[in-house]
Amino acid sequence: MEESDRSHFNEMLDNQGNPREPYCRLNAWLSEKPSNFLSRKSKEAETIFRRLGITFAVYGSDEATERLIPFDPIPRILSAREWKTISAGIDQRVRALNAFLRDIYHRQEIIKAGRIPADLVIQNEAFLPEMIGFTPPRKVYAHIIGTDLVRVSEDEFYVLEDNTRTPSGVSYMMENRETMMRMFPDLFQSYRVAPVEHYPDALRQTLESVAPDPAKSAQTVVILTPGIYNSAYFEHAFLADSMGVELVEGRDLFVDEGKVFMRTTREPQQVDVIYRRIDDAFLDPLTFQPDSMLGVPGLFDAYRAGNVTICNAPGTGIADDKAIYAYVPDIIEFYTGQKPILKNVPTWNCSKDDDLAYVLDNLADIVVKEVHGSGGYGMLIGPTASKREIAEFRKVLQANPGNYIAQPTLALSACPTHVASGVAPRHVDLRPFVLIGDRVRITPGGLTRVALKKGSLVVNSSQGGGTKDTWVLED
Amino acid sequence: MLGRTAASLFWMSRYHERAQNITKLLEVAYRSAMVSQQGENSIDDWRFTLMSSGCDWAYQAKHDEITPRSVISFMVFDKNNPSSIRTCLEMARNNARSVRTGITAELWEAINTTWIEFAEVTPQSITQDRLPDFLSWISQRSHLFRGALLNTVLRDDGYFFSQLGNFVERADNTARVLNTQYWVLLPDNDVVGDGSMQNQRWSGLLRALSGLRSYRFAYPNAELTAFNVAEFLILRKEMPRSLAHCYQWIDDVSDDLGQFYGSRQPSLDLASGLWRDLKEAEMRDVYQQGLDDFLNDFIVRNNAFAHQLSKDYNFA
Region at A17 (left for phi over 0; alpha for psi -120 to 50; beta for the rest): left
**Which comes out higher in pLDDT, residue A256 or B100?**
A256
**Chain B residues closer than 8 Å to A251 by CB:** 4
Region of poorest pLDDT, from A166-175, A264-273, A352-361, B187-196 = B187-196
- Residue-level pLDDT at B118: 94
- Residue-level pLDDT at B293: 96
**Chain A residues closer than 8 Å to B96 by CB:** none
Residues A264, B1: C-beta atoms closer than 8 Å: yes
Residues A266, B261: C-beta atoms closer than 8 Å: yes
**Chain A residues closer than 8 Å to B112 by CB:** 51-53
Contact (Cβ atoms closer than 8 angstroms) between residue B77 and residue B19: no
- Residue-level pLDDT at A376: 63
CB atoms inside a 10 Å sphere around CB A123: 9
Q: How far is CA A403 from CA A129, A349, A463, B277, in A?
A: 22, 9, 22, 72
CA of B111, closest CA in chain A: separation in Å?
Answer: 10
- Residue-level pLDDT at A375: 59
CA of A306, closest CA in chain B: separation in Å?
Answer: 24
Residues of A11-21 as b/e, b for ≥16 C-beta within 10 angstroms? bbbeeeeebee
Residues B97, A227: C-beta atoms closer than 8 Å: no
CB atoms inside a 10 Å sphere around CB A259: 17
The model's confidence at residue A60, banded by pLDDT at 50, 70 and 90, is very low
Residues B3, A246: C-beta atoms closer than 8 Å: no
Residues of B146-157 as b/e, b for ≥16 C-beta within 10 angstroms? bebbeeebeeeb
Chain A residues touching chain B at CB-CB below 8 Å: 50-53, 227-228, 233-234, 237-238, 240-241, 246-249, 251-252, 262-266
Residues B97, A251: C-beta atoms closer than 8 Å: no
- Residue-level pLDDT at B33: 80
Mean pLDDT of A112-121: 94
In 3D space, the residue among A319, A299, A303 whose CA is nearest the CA of residue A436 turns out to be: A319
Residues B1, A248: C-beta atoms closer than 8 Å: no
Neighbour-count burial of A267, counting CB atoms closer than 10 A to its CB (0-12 exposed, 13-18 middle, 19+ buried): exposed
Residues A51, B109: C-beta atoms closer than 8 Å: yes
Residues B100, A241: C-beta atoms closer than 8 Å: yes
Residues B112, A53: C-beta atoms closer than 8 Å: yes
Return the top range by mean pLDDT from A46-55, A231-240, B94-103, B250-259.
B250-259
Residues A246, B101: C-beta atoms closer than 8 Å: yes
Chain B residues touching chain A at CB-CB below 8 Å: 1-6, 94, 97-98, 100-101, 105, 108-109, 112-113, 116, 157, 261, 313-314
Mean pLDDT of A255-276: 96
Count of H-run helices and E-run strands, chain B:
15, 0
- Residue-level pLDDT at B203: 87
3-state helix, strand, coil in chain B (%, to 5): 80, 0, 20
- Residue-level pLDDT at A202: 97
CATH number, domain containing residue A362: 3.30.1490.270
Residues A263, B3: C-beta atoms closer than 8 Å: yes
Query: What is the distance between the alpha carbons of residues B85 and B15, in angstroms, rounded to a whole number?
Result: 9
User: Which of A228, A234, A249 is closest, CB to CB, to B94?
Assistant: A228
Residues B2, A248: C-beta atoms closer than 8 Å: yes
* Interface predicted TM-score of the whole assembly (ipTM), two decimals: 0.81
* B237-246 tens-digit pLDDT: 999 999 999 9
Q: Which residue of B has its CA nearest to A261?
A: B2
CA of B119, closest CA in chain A: separation in Å?
Answer: 10
Q: Which residue of A has its CA nearest to B161?
A: A265
Q: Which residue of A has its CA nearest to B103?
A: A241
- Residue-level pLDDT at A63: 43
Q: With a cut of 50, say whether residue A137 has pLDDT above it.
A: yes
* A411-469 tens-digit pLDDT: 899 999 999 888 999 999 999 999 999 999 999 999 999 999 888 888 877 777 899 99
CA of B113, closest CA in chain A: separation in Å?
Answer: 6
**Chain B residues closer than 8 Å to A263 by CB:** 2-4, 314
Residues A228, B261: C-beta atoms closer than 8 Å: no
Domains held by chain A: number: 1
Q: Which residues contact B130 (CB under 8 A, 6 or more apart)?
A: none
**Chain A residues closer than 8 Å to B116 by CB:** 50-51
Residues A265, B1: C-beta atoms closer than 8 Å: yes
The model's confidence at residue A222, banded by pLDDT at 50, 70 and 90, is very high
Mean pLDDT of A233-253: 93
Domain carrying residue A397: 346-408
Q: What is the mean pLDDT of chain B?
A: 91
Q: Radius of gyration over alpha carbons of chain A, in Å?
A: 23
Contact (Cβ atoms closer than 8 angstroms) between residue B99 and residue A241: no
- Residue-level pLDDT at B291: 95
CA of A282, closest CA in chain B: separation in Å?
Answer: 20
User: Which of B4, B94, B101 is closest, CB to CB, to A252?
Assistant: B4
Query: What is the distance between the alpha carbons of residues A92 and A339, in angstroms, rounded to a whole number?
Result: 10
- Residue-level pLDDT at A306: 96
* B187-197 tens-digit pLDDT: 876 555 566 77
Contact (Cβ atoms closer than 8 angstroms) between residue B15 and residue B95: yes
User: Which of A238, A241, A263 is closest, CB to CB, to B2?
Assistant: A263
Query: How many contacts does A have with B, using Cβ atoms within 8 A?
Result: 56
In 3D space, the residue among A456, A350, A452 whose CA is nearest the CA of residue A393 turns out to be: A350
Residues A252, B101: C-beta atoms closer than 8 Å: no
- Residue-level pLDDT at B301: 98
Q: Are strands A66-67 and A309-311 parallel, antiparallel or unpaired?
A: unpaired
Residues B100, A227: C-beta atoms closer than 8 Å: no
DSSP class of residue A418 equals E
Q: With a cut of 50, say whether residue A1 has pLDDT above it.
A: no
Q: With a cut of 90, say whether residue B202 has pLDDT above it.
A: no
**Which comes out higher in pLDDT, residue B15 or B188?**
B15
Q: With a cut of 70, say whether residue A62 has pLDDT above it.
A: no
Residues A252, B98: C-beta atoms closer than 8 Å: no
- Residue-level pLDDT at A56: 66
Residues A251, B4: C-beta atoms closer than 8 Å: yes
- Residue-level pLDDT at A35: 83
- Residue-level pLDDT at B191: 55
- Residue-level pLDDT at B192: 56
Mean pLDDT of A6-35: 91
A359 within a domain of the structure (yes/no): yes
Looking at the DSSP bridge assignments, the partners of residue A270 are A261
Beta strands in chain B (DSSP E): none
**Chain A residues closer than 8 Å to B98 by CB:** 227-228
Query: What is the distance between the alpha carbons of residues B146 and B270, in angstroms, rounded to a whole number?
Result: 26
Among A67, A229, A260, A265, the residue to mutate for chain B (most B Cβ within 10 A)? A265
Mean pLDDT of A57-67: 54
In 3D space, the residue among A234, A106, A257, A98 whose CA is nearest the CA of residue A171 turns out to be: A234
**Which comes out higher in pLDDT, residue B195 or A25?**
A25
Query: What is the distance between the alpha carbons of residues B192 and A203, in angstroms, rounded to a whole number?
Result: 73
- Residue-level pLDDT at B189: 60
Region of poorest pLDDT, from A290-294, B193-197, B283-287 = B193-197
SS (H, E, C) B86-97: HHHHHHHHHHHH
* A366-381 tens-digit pLDDT: 999 888 766 566 788 8
